[in-house]
Structure 1
Amino acid sequence: MTLSATVSTAAPRPVITAWSAVSPFGIGRDEFVAGVLAGEDTSRALDPGEWAGPDSRACVVPGFELREVLGRKGTRSMDRVTGLAATAVRDLLRDAGDRRTASDEETALVLGTTTGSAQSMMDFTRASLVGERPFYVDPSLMPNAVMNCAAGQCAIRHSLKGPNTTIAGGRVAGLSALSYARGLLGSGRARTVLYGAAEEFSNARAWLDHHRRGEDAAGALLGEGCAMFMLEAADSPGAEGRALAEVLAVESRVYFGDDPHEALTACVEGVLRRGGVDPGEVWAVSTSGLAGLAGEREREALTARFGAEVVDRAPSMQAIGDTAAASAAFQIAALLGLAERATPPSGGVALVSSVDDNGVVACAALRLPVG
């Protein structure tokens, strides 16, 4: 099974022109780039008075208090994943400034997720079960229990009136969101698309992961955060001069069992073929860093295809823990950060690989730098 966006062949390939990140390294792209390139350890001991999960350590965004970061207006009932996404979108729009040529009506938002906020869903359900009456619940909390709450709140808060979409895709959600964003541009549904993915750390998510985690992934730390990107057509006014990467192709596959090797190999070949990329052009390959057998097989497949030097060139994602839905988006951000500080060959290609142990793999090919 193959999933890819349907884009007009006559449409120019889209380019990434700006990005932002809220990560365990801190709030801001500069903090992310400095931390990920240095390989800083972001794991922290959890305060048992604040967190009641099964793990004593995690990779959380330091000092992330909603009202301190976003202000008091509109944050009284906002949950953590919405706050992470809203902060990343705020920073992206601020950094882009006047460079965004599309109007609010022409700007779309696509956000990748796993299930939205598992904590909000469980809290709302629990209130219905333990209350004196099933309907004795706080109505202001109900929107948080809906999967597309974060994307909707980001659009409302930042006056984005174009298409608004939530993509539930687990670890590959960041690449699924990119594929969907390409489709919006190629079909003329939007002139600019803000796309990315977000994942929160919470007690509910920690317990869910604890019970589903295989023995081969024991000890893996959870992480959180959000990375957002501005995607525009290459022929948009001024886009060529500020392009950070050209999106050549995005593809995904499904696999059965525990070994993604065959599906990932086919996915890599498919994305190279669709993007018109010679394997010798690939400068860096980012692996998802999934703990356990699936992650090991991912690295083996990519090393066999491109060599250890190319795979090791991309920053490791282990420093920020398992960021689940946000992982592929952070991989793209890390490659863009690497390209800023290193000197990639002209027209070099970066490959992003994402593997989810629920049976999905995805890949994206980016040409960087463009100019």
Structure 2
Amino acid sequence: MSGQRHGAAAPDDAVITGLGVAAATGLGTEEHWNATVKGASGIGPIRRHDASGYPCRLAGEVPGFDPADHLSGRLLPQTDRMTQLALAASDWALADAGLDPATLDEYGMGVVTASASGGFEFAQKELQSLWSKGPRHVTAYQSFAWFYAVNSGQISIRHGLRGPSGVLVTGQAGGLDALAHARRQLRAGASAMLTGGMEAPLSPWGLVSQLTSGRLSTRDEPGRAYVPFDSAACGHVPGEGGALLVMERAEAARARGARVLGTFAGYCATFDPAPETGRPPGLRRAIQGALDDAGTEPDAIDVVFADAAGVRALDTAEAEALEAVFGGRPVPVTAPKTMTGRLASGGAALDVASALLAMRDAVVPPTLHVTTPAADAPAGLVRDTARPMPVRSALIVARGHGGFNAAAVLRAAG
């Protein structure tokens, strides 16, 4: 495993100490992880509204979430489902980290999240009131509940986080971009950050907005609707949820005796050139840049959590990028998002959480439903059942619609 640093994290490393997860695979980290390792898919017919008239009728919906169990009556009418999920996950992440922000310096902890859609469901409801009843029936909460940055704002208020804050809007790549920006704030002096991505874009308006990409699967069979790297790939199933994580400077985490799940060791982002230029996509450069940033050689990576677009041309481009970086080595590749759907900015953040759990439990979760791998599918694709194996380092790959690429390297604690 040449080229990889071992031993305890350096004082200025960004380590992850807490996880909060909400996805179609379950509410809470352990419920999600147990389902993921078992290969229990959460994809099924859309139930939050009547989707029978839409070409896409399947999604990965978060099960059993009652916002009234997690939020005050004051907050419920002013928050979208996306923010309600994010606030609950922020509670879980801080509890998992054993961190009370009130014990830190006043400006010692901040929040950076990613969002690709904002509060679609809330906005649709208010626009319907505007059209059918008039402007007097539109709540003042519409001014912020729909906004991309609302999760960062509401989380900071809920937990008294007065440190640096921000939001990244880069589609599926956003979950990694948010973590990287949080790491930047730690290097600038913050002690801790809440970071990640959470989405809930399954309302009628949210669904129609995604249909414009032309990448949503229109199959009605859950087991064949989202099959990345399969010769019969036909697009992806949308989903809701994601993950929020507590990231700390290693020195600060060590000082308070925190349990460290892993290190956010490397990151790089690139942007694809315009199609008419004929230049290659930027994904390979993002992957190589993340490895370089981590000081890690390709042969040190134990598993890749793939972007897994489910569109043949995009799957081919990702497979070619991995082939170019790993030189034909059949590195294990997995796409557990086949159980949740693609979650936009929540997806990469959830992959980071799952990769850290894979390190903890020495097991790689499976990719479901790939029955006829394409000729160019990654040779090491982990299919159908989880693979027990030590995981010391992981590569996370994410692409956002419009040309955004991001890659990150995680390193196990210790």
Q: One fold, TM greater than 0.5?
A: yes
The letter for the 1-side match of 2:332 is: V
- The 2-side partners of 1:218 and 1:197 are apart by 26
Alignment of 1:21-170 (within 5 A): 21-47=21-47, 54=54, 55-98=56-99, 102-103=104-105, 105-132=107-134, 134=135, 136-170=137-171
Q: C-alpha separation between the residues in 2 aligned to 1:198 and 1:53?
A: 27
Q: Cα distance 1:215–1:283, how it changes in 2: closer, same or farther (>3 A)?
A: closer
Match of 2:362 in 1: 342
1:164-209 Cα distance to aligned partner (Å, 9 max, x none): 3221111110111011101111111x21001010110322111111
| Equivalent-residue separation in structure 1 for 2:262 and 2:251 (angstroms) | 14
Give 1:329 shift.
0.5
Q: Identify the range of structure 1 (29-38 vs 156-165) with the bigger mean alpha-carbon deviation.
A: 156-165
- Say if 2:256 is the partner of 1:212: no
Residues 121 and 241 from structure 1, CA distance in 2 versus in 1: closer, same or farther, beyond 3 angstroms?
closer
* Greater helix fraction, Structure 1 or Structure 2: 1
Alpha-carbon distance, 1:152 to partner: 1.1
Specify which of 332, 343, 346 is matched with residue 311 of structure 1: 332
Distance of aligned partners of 1:117 and 1:71 in 2 relative to their CA distance in 1, 3 Å threshold: same
Matched, 1:254 2:271: yes
- RMSD of aligned Cα (Å): 2.7
Aligned equivalents of 2:360, 2:314: Cα separation in 1: 30
Q: Deviations over 1:134-185 (max 9, x none)?
A: 4552223332122212221122222222223221111110111011101111
Is the 1:171–1:328 Cα contact (8 Å) retained in structure 2? yes
- When the two structures are superposed, what TM-score results if normalisation uses the length of structure 2? 0.78
Q: Is the 2:235–2:310 contact (alpha carbons within 8 Å) kept by the matching residues of 1? A: no
Single out whichever of 79-88 and 248-257 deviates more from structure 2.
Answer: 248-257
Q: Which residue of 2 aligns with 1:3?
A: none
In the other structure, the counterpart of 1:321 is: 341
Partners of 1:285 and 1:351 within 8 A in 2:
yes
Listed as ranges, the matches of 1:281-296 within 5 Å are: 281-292=300-311, 293-296=313-316
Q: Which residue pairs with 2:382 in the alignment?
A: none
2:284 aligns with: 265
**Is residue 181 from structure 1 mapped to residue 195 from structure 2 by the alignment?**
no
SS, match of residue 230 in structure 1: strand
Percentage of identical aligned residues: 26
Mind listing any 5+ residue stretches in structure 1 that lack a counterpart?
Answer: 1-9
Q: CA deviation at 1:238?
A: 2.1
CA shift, 1:47, in A, is 3.3
2:215–2:236 Cα contact (<8 Å) kept: no
Question: Is the 8 Å Cα contact of residues 11 and 250 (structure 2) preserved in structure 1?
Answer: no
Decide whether the 8 Å contact of 2:80 with 2:146 is kept in 1.
Answer: no
Amino acid of the structure 2 residue aligned with 1:329 = A
Work out the CA distance in 2 between the residues paired with 1:86 and 1:40: 26
Equivalent AA in structure 2 for residue 319 of structure 1: M
Counterpart of 1:108, as a letter, is: G
Aligned to 1:4: none
Instruction: Kindly state the Cα deviation for residue 59 of structure 1 after the two structures are TM-superposed.
Output: 0.7
How far residue 211 of structure 1 moved from its aligned partner, in angstroms, is 2.5
Distance between the aligned counterparts of 1:310 and 1:171, measured in 2?
Answer: 23
For the structure 1 residues 262 and 359, does the alpha-carbon distance in structure 2 shift closer, same or farther, using more than 3 Å as the test?
A: closer
Name the stretch that deviates more: 250-259 or 34-43. Answer: 250-259
Give 5+ residue unaligned stretches, structure 2.
Answer: 1-9, 218-232, 364-388
**TM-fit CA distance, 1:74:** 1.9
Instruction: Give 1:345 deviation, angstroms.
Output: 5.3
Distance 2:40 2:198 in 1: 21
Distance 1:49 1:355, change over 3 A: closer
Report the alpha carbon displacement of residue 12 of structure 1 after superposing the two structures with TM. Answer: 1.6
Check conservation: 1:37, 1:338, Cα contact below 8 A. no
Q: How many residues align?
A: 357
Q: Partners of 2:74 and 2:292 in 1: how far apart?
A: 49
1:225 paired residue number: 241
Identify the range of structure 1 (294-303 vs 192-201) with the bigger mean alpha-carbon deviation: 294-303
* CA deviation profile, 1:313-365 (whole Å, cap 9, x unmatched): x452211101111111011111111111117658x321111122311111111
Counterpart contact for 1:315–1:335, Cα < 8 Å: no
Name the SS for the 1:152 alignment partner.
helix
39-48 or 93-102: which moved more? 93-102
* CA shift in 2, pair 1:60/1:215, >3 Å: closer
Structure 1, residues 44-67: CA drift from partner, whole Å, max 9, x if none? 223375667723221100022211
Which TM-score applies when normalising by structure 1?
A: 0.87
> What is the CA–CA distance in structure 1 between the aligned matches of 2:28 and 2:243, rounded to whole Å?
10
